[in-house]
């Protein structure tokens, strides 16, 4: 029998070690951690969410690697994704912008009339695969869904003003919610935001707003970074390949701007906002793009002032309805340095819970199978339970210490 040379055996051993390290195969499923000051709030949450008292088990071969979860999510989204049929609503805003959102009715009438107001991540819309999957899943469980289409994200909807969406601009969400409230005044509203959309939801709910619909019963924020100033500095580093993710986001944003250059970079727009097209087109990072375009369009004197205004961490203390924040520790776009303040914040606030999951990447949270994941993610299943917990919590008598 031929025995391989020691060098060959050593090379095989090193290769296997690298594969195990890359796929993180030695990791074990972990029960999500919950940070909250409010014991009644947490007890109600755990009662409605059995997934929070048992380990989250990612797809076996690759689900323990946050990078792979993130890349699979960004390229594929979800497997066997349906295409739910909805009604597109078009609004003309005061600044001349055309805002659209899509409404999807429940497959059957649930015990409660609840509308899930979904705010997608950066450059995403109702046509994004993960949004469509969650919408269809929600419809089948008796929920109405309304999805905000970020201005500029849909190529099929022409721009009618010289701006697109940005991180901290919540007026589009506000206009959608007010219009939605007129259509479904008896429905309870729960706002759900993914990544940038999570920042938008949290900021909107924490801002001083006199005409906010009173039937918003809670909010859910998923995989956001909370502090854009600190987060941008971390994304500019090469550690954990963050700079590559920043490059991808920058190119996606720049593609929307350049696709609509006849409006966004018209001679009139360039004169009005002091834009230099060459600087916009050559921007290599998101801060460069925001400095050459976004801050000027939204009238901010500096990049730091734009990012401070945009960051939800500066608004969340004043949210006065139940709020759930969800993040994963292996999210390559949201380093743990951004999550530590949220643990402290949740431990000091009522009606707030911060859920921290060991795995899941950025918006991935795939589960099931050795290679091929389930069509419905762990996150999809959790979100509906969280919505139920928010609804039941709001129905309990106030100032009742024994209501759980």
- Could you confirm whether 67 is annotated as catalytic? no
368: left (phi over 0), alpha (psi -120 to 50) or beta: left
Structure tokens at 26: 């030695």
Nearest of 118, 188, 103, 182 to residue 150 by alpha carbon: 118
- Could you confirm whether 74 is annotated as catalytic? no
Cα dihedral angle (43, 217, 191, 264), rounded to 10 degrees?
-150
- Could you confirm whether 362 is annotated as catalytic? yes
Residue 187, SS3? coil
Question: Residue 257, Cβ neighbours under 10 Å: how many?
Answer: 23
Q: In angstroms, rounded to a whole number, what is the distance separating the alpha carbons of residues 105 and 210?
A: 29
284 neighbors 235 (Cβ within 8 angstroms):
no
- Annotate 381-393 with b (16+ C-beta within 10 A) or e (fewer): bbbbbbbbbbbeb
**Rounded (5°) CA angle 153-355-213:** 55
Catalytic residue of the set 38, 290, 330, 331: 331
315 neighbors 202 (Cβ within 8 angstroms):
yes
Q: How many CA atoms are closer than 13 Å to the CA of 283, on its beta-carbon side?
A: 28
Catalytic residue of the set 128, 227, 362, 389: 362
Cα 86 to Cα 54, 144, 385: the distances in Å are: 35, 10, 23
Q: In angstroms, rounded to a whole number, what is the distance separating the alpha carbons of residues 360 and 364?
A: 5
Q: In angstroms, rounded to a whole number, what is the distance separating the alpha carbons of residues 70 and 404?
A: 37
Catalytic residue of the set 195, 311, 328, 389: 195
Q: In angstroms, rounded to a whole number, what is the distance separating the alpha carbons of residues 268 and 262?
A: 10
Residues marked active site are found at 195, 331, 362
């Amino acid at each position: 029998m031929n025995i391989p040379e020691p060098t060959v055996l050593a090379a095989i051993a090193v290769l296997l070690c690298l594969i195990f390290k890359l796929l993180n195969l030695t990791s074990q499923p972990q029960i999500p951690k919950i940070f909250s000051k409010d014991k009644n709030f947490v007890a109600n949450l755990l009662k409605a969410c059995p997934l929070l008292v048992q380990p989250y088990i990612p797809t076996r071969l690759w689900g323990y690697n946050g990078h792979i979860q993130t890349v699979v999510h960004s390229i594929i989204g979800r497997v066997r994704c349906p295409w739910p049929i909805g009604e597109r609503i078009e609004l003309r805003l005061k600044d001349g912008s055309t805002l659209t959102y899509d409404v999807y009715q429940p497959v059957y009438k649930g015990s409660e009339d609840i509308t899930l107001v979904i705010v997608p991540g950066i450059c995403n819309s109702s046509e994004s695969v993960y949004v469509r999957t969650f919408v269809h899943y929600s419809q089948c469980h008796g929920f109405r869904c309304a999805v905000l289409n970020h201005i500029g994200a849909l190529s099929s909807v022409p721009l009618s003003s010289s701006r697109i969406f940005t991180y901290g601009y919540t007026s589009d969400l506000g206009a959608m919610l007010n219009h939605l409230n007129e259509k479904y005044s008896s429905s309870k509203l729960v706002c759900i935001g993914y990544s940038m959309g999570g920042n938008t939801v949290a900021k909107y709910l924490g801002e001083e707003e006199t005409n906010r619909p009173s039937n918003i019963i809670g909010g859910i924020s998923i995989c956001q970074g909370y502090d854009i100033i600190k987060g941008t500095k971390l994304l500019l580093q090469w550690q954990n390949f963050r700079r590559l993710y920043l490059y991808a986001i920058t190119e996606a944003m720049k593609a929307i701007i350049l696709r609509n250059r006849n409006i966004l970079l018209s001679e009139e727009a360039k004169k009005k906002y002091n834009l230099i097209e060459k600087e916009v087109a050559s921007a290599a990072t998101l801060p460069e793009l925001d400095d050459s375009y976004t801050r000027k369009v939204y009238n901010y004197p500096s990049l730091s002032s734009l990012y401070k205004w945009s960051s939800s961490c500066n608004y969340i203390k004043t949210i006065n309805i139940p709020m759930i924040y969800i993040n994963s520790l292996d999210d390559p776009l949201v380093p743990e340095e951004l999550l530590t303040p949220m643990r402290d914040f949740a431990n000091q606030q009522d009606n707030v819970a911060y859920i921290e999951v060991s795995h899941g990447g950025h918006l991935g949270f795939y589960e099931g199978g050795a290679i091929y994941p389930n069509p419905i993610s762990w996150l999809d299943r959790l979100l509906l339970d969280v919505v139920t917990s928010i609804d039941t919590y709001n129905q309990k008598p106030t100032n009742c210490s024994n209501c759980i």
